[in-house]
């Protein structure tokens, strides 16, 4: 049932131009239209889009996919923006508010195999290393398999679990990465499950990586909808899209990352989940880029205190040597 808006004011929604970004923007636009709002999508090119071959870490600063759009919101060129929360820096931009975090899609990562390995994996003939970790999903990969991923976080966790794997950089949107895989450039690639689900690529979800192997990026699977802090009308329009459970989980993750000061250069990961009784459980990992050193920790907290939960876990990990591990990433080639 549609809800009637109080006025006919058009909301301009800024979005990147990739197919996944457009899907996310269209989803938000659809939710708002169902509630009687008129929405115009405005495509905005970001720094990360302008140089798709460059590794994300090499840009030297966070926000390569968000800064340009945030400036457009601040300037009044658009009224709101939809971000993948994993791309949104934890530093608050003055004048902007994260007005809504909708219900979260799966935060997991997926190992997508090349055709030459899919038949073997389906038949149960994986030939990777043995052991409790590799016996699950990574055992489908042969020794020295070439795995593409754009993320140092993913590379470090793969290197820890399977040091024999050859992990190489892979940039581009989801379609570009899949085309390179299908062209035989890689034995496998790692992608976010949320992106594949949102694009309807369910046939690629055969090998979801368990969190014991691959903790996700902070905020992965969640969307963040941002608007100007003083734009009461837009904030009110976005209110019904907000999910308190998703908000608590990603707030804990982002508080952990901000307190740790991990940034986009270090291989760090965290995931918060909410138990049926309402307790928040946060687990995190910090690694050296080569995956040789790995610090894992977890804590629980109240659902109403996600920031405290995140900061507590960060402090615990700093005492255990997280800062030293993070520092090692700064000089990594």
Q: Active-site residues: which are they? A: 87
Q: CA 54 to CA 5: how far, in whole Å?
A: 43
Report the b/e string of 3-26 with b at 16+ CB within 10 A: eeeeeeeebbbbbbebebbbbbbb
CA-based nearest residue to 231, from 5, 8, 2, 12: 12
How many CB atoms lie under 10 A from the CB of residue 308? Answer: 15
State the Rg of the chain over Cα. Answer: 20
Q: CA 253 to CA 270: how far, in whole Å?
A: 6
CA-based nearest residue to 7, from 37, 40, 48, 45: 37
Query: Helices 244-260 and 306-319: crossing angle, nearest 10°?
Result: 30
């Amino acid at each position: 049932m549609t809800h009637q808006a109080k006025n006919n004011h058009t909301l301009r929604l800024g979005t990147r131009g990739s197919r996944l970004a457009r899907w996310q923007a269209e989803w938000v636009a659809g939710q708002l239209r169902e509630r009687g709002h008129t929405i115009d999508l405005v495509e905005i090119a970001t720094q990360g889009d302008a140089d798709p071959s460059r590794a994300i870490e090499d840009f030297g600063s966070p926000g390569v996919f968000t800064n340009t759009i945030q400036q457009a919101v601040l300037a009044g060129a658009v009224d709101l923006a939809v971000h993948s929360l994993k791309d949104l820096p934890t530093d608050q931009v003055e004048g902007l508010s994260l007005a809504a975090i909708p219900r979260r899609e799966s935060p997991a990562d997926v190992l997508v195999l090349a055709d030459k390995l899919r038949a073997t994996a389906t038949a149960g003939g994986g030939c990777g290393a043995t052991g409790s970790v590799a016996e699950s999903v990574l055992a489908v990969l042969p020794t020295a398999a070439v795995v593409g991923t754009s993320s140092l976080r993913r590379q470090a966790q793969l290197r820890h679990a399977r040091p024999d794997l050859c992990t190489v950089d892979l940039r581009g949107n989801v379609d570009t990465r899949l085309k390179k895989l299908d062209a035989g450039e890689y034995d496998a690639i790692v992608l976010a499950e949320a992106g594949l689900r949102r694009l309807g690529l369910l046939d690629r979800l055969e090998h979801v990586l368990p969190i014991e192997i691959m903790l996700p990026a902070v905020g992965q699977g969640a969307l963040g909808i941002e608007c100007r802090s003083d734009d009461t009308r837009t904030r009110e329009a976005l209110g019904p899209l907000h999910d308190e459970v998703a908000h608590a989980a990603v707030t804990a993750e982002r508080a952990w990352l901000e307190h740790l000061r991990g940034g986009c250069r270090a291989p760090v990961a965290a995931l918060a989940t909410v138990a049926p009784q309402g307790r928040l459980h946060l687990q995190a990992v910090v690694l050296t880029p080569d995956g040789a050193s790995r610090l894992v920790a977890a804590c629980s907290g109240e659902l109403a205190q996600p920031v405290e939960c995140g900061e507590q876990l960060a402090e615990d990990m700093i005492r255990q040597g997280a800062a030293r591990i993070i520092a090692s990433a700064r000089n990594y080639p």
